Amino acid sequence: MNWVEAIGYLGTGLTIASTAMSTMIPLRVVSILASVAVMTYGLLTGSMPVVLTEAIQIPFNAWRLYQMVRLVRDVKRAAGGDLSLDWLRPFGESRRVAAGAVLFRKGDPAGEMFLIESGRFRIEELDLDIRPGAIVGELGMLSPGNLRTGTLVCTEPGIVLGVAYADVKQLYYQNPEFGFSFLKLTSERLFQAAQAAPARAPAGTDVI
Ligand SMILES: Nc1ncnc2c1ncn2[C@@H]1O[C@@H]2COP(=O)(O)O[C@H]2[C@H]1O
């Protein structure tokens, strides 16, 4: 095997490796390296279709890589190193809400969660006040059929930041800090709901 073929095989190996990867940033980096190797091979062997294919792919992969790195950087910067959910801010859309407005009702299809920026809100079924800084509407992403588990009403006018579940999922998959915070928040609320639910066995009944 001469060195030109070696470059070609390197390109083949990197292309296969990138196809097998599931994490976006390493996948894009390896794809770009694969394209460079295959393109070099194409140039050295005079195969213009190969060169052209790879030359088109490199900018696409580079752009996606840039977007992903920027997303992770923004999240990290906003996170400031703690597990606060404030770092959702760069990904949301602010909305003004009037007192008495219902953001969603129990059973509605859910597509976004909210960071409460200001004002006061209430989850009717739980008789629970929601204050600025709180995250609400995240359980709809996990509930069967993506349905709301409660009704959110505005009790004092304020501003909410809506973050689409598609963005929440991207952040979840790409950023372990976010993923862990999200898991913690949702499990805490589910534990609370389980504790608040009436026990199935009547008092005094032995549970085997
Ligand atoms: N114990 C809790 N504390 C605060 N918020 C809660 C609690 N339980 C449920 N919620 C919120 O109520 C919301 C109702 O809509 P979701 O099911 O989308 O998401 C739910 C949670 O965000």
Within a 10 A sphere around the Cβ of 88, how many other Cβ atoms?
Answer: 23
CA torsion, points 7, 8, 13, 18, in degrees to nearest 10? Answer: 100
**Atom of ligand 1 at shortest range from CA of 192:** 1
CB-CB contact of 27 with 18 (8 Å): yes
Instruction: Express each pLDDT in 107-144 by its tens digit.
Output: 999 999 999 999 999 999 999 999 998 999 999 999 99
Ligand 1: residue of 112, 131, 139, 148 to mutate (most ligand atoms within 8 A of CB) is 139
Tabulate helix, strand, coil % of the chain (nearest 5): 55, 15, 25
Here the ipTM equals: 0.97
Question: Same domain, yes or no, for 66 and 95?
Answer: no
Of 93, 113, 96, the closest CA to residue 157 belongs to: 96
Question: Same domain, yes or no, for 23 and 91?
Answer: no
Q: Is pTM, for the whole model, over 0.80?
A: no
Residue owning tokens 């060195």: 3
**Ligand 1: residues whose CB is within 6 Å?**
110, 123, 126, 128, 136-140, 143, 148-150, 189, 192-193
Domain range for residue 74?
Answer: 3-79
Whichever domain contains 136, its CATH number is 2.60.120.10
